Copies of this chain bind each other. A is one copy, B any other.
Amino acid sequence: MCRWLAYSGDPIPIAWLVLQPEHSLIDQSLHARLGATTTNGDGFGVGWYDGRSADPAVYRSVHPAWNDRNLRELTTHVSSPLFFAHIRASTGTAVQETNAHPFRHGRWLFMHNGLVRDFARVRRDLMLAIAPPLVAELEGSSDSELLFHLALTFGLEDDPVTALERMAGYVEDVGAAHGVQHPLQMSAAATDGTRIVAARYSSEGASRSLYFSTDARVIRARYPDDERLQALSDEARVVVSEPLGPRADAWNEVPEAHVGIVQPGQDELRPFTPRRGVAV
């Protein structure tokens, strides 16, 4: 179980979302409310676009987010128009930077909350479907890293929603072949620095929570006294595992089996349907 957030909008210090809200990601690392575990202390990561280079920067650590001083320094002093942040609760795999999210390939970032069930049994089959040049990039032992490289294999860079649907379908195909009842539990996000694709899906139809922020103009109008909220640009959007504070009207739940696309112009929300039987 993990927690994550993604931001897109005018550049803001990363700390505005990671450190400072009442129920910030740091607070969630100690006291998550909606997740399977309350403590998310098995490493963390931040990935951000600096507005100059197309490739994102990634800072990952094995320490708990709440006691990592470098995280405070970095997020306070680095502003970004699009960033991912993730705190990890290992379900058994090693606590190492290469198992921390977000993962990166070229200009793409990926992060995930959830799991591939019976991973030890299906792991080899999942690896086999990854394109050989991408296999060489695997560095850790997590299911999430494999999900990302499967999605890349299935065309994430060209058509991200379809690639995520093929990835989910393939995991379900492999799981079914191994007799796994509910192979996939996932709330995942991917970005190329321009748009964010965030999917909520699980084989059992009871997915981990996922929220996106209300339109920034509405938020600003409702909270005229909150300086940080007033500074959000019209396009600003946040996607989170759980709300960052008590303002219920600031957040909308992503419906079960849906995918949201945060992008320049109109954002989108559509059904997410795994594509089975395609890749096997």
Contact = CB atoms under 8 A, between A and B. Distances in A.
A67 B42 contact: yes
Contact of A63 (B69, B73, B93, B95): B95
Contact of A57 (B76, B97, B121, B140): B76
A62 B60 contact: no
A62 to B, nearest CB: 7
A57 B39 contact: no
A280 interface: no
Nearest to A124: B135
Given A70-B61, A74-B74, A123 B135 contact: yes
A68 to B, nearest CB: 8
Nearest to A121: B136
Contacts of A140: 94, 96, 139-141
Interface string A94-106: 1111100000000
A17 B273 CA distance: 49
A179 interface: no
A107 to B, nearest CB: 13
A250 interface: no
Contacts of A77: 48, 50, 53, 57, 78
A1 interface: no
Contacts of A38: 38
B96 A97 contact: yes
Given A42-B67, A64-B64, 16 more contacts: A38-B38, A39-B39, A41-B64, A41-B66, A57-B73, A61-B70, A63-B63, A67-B90, A69-B97, A96-B98, A123-B135, A123-B136, A124-B135, A124-B136, A127-B127, A127-B135
Q: Which 10 A-B pairs have the closest CB atoms?
A: A57-B77, A120-B136, A96-B96, A124-B135, A139-B141, A67-B95, A57-B73, A50-B77, A41-B41, A124-B132
6 contacts: A42-B67, A69-B94, A70-B70, A94-B140, A96-B96, A96-B140
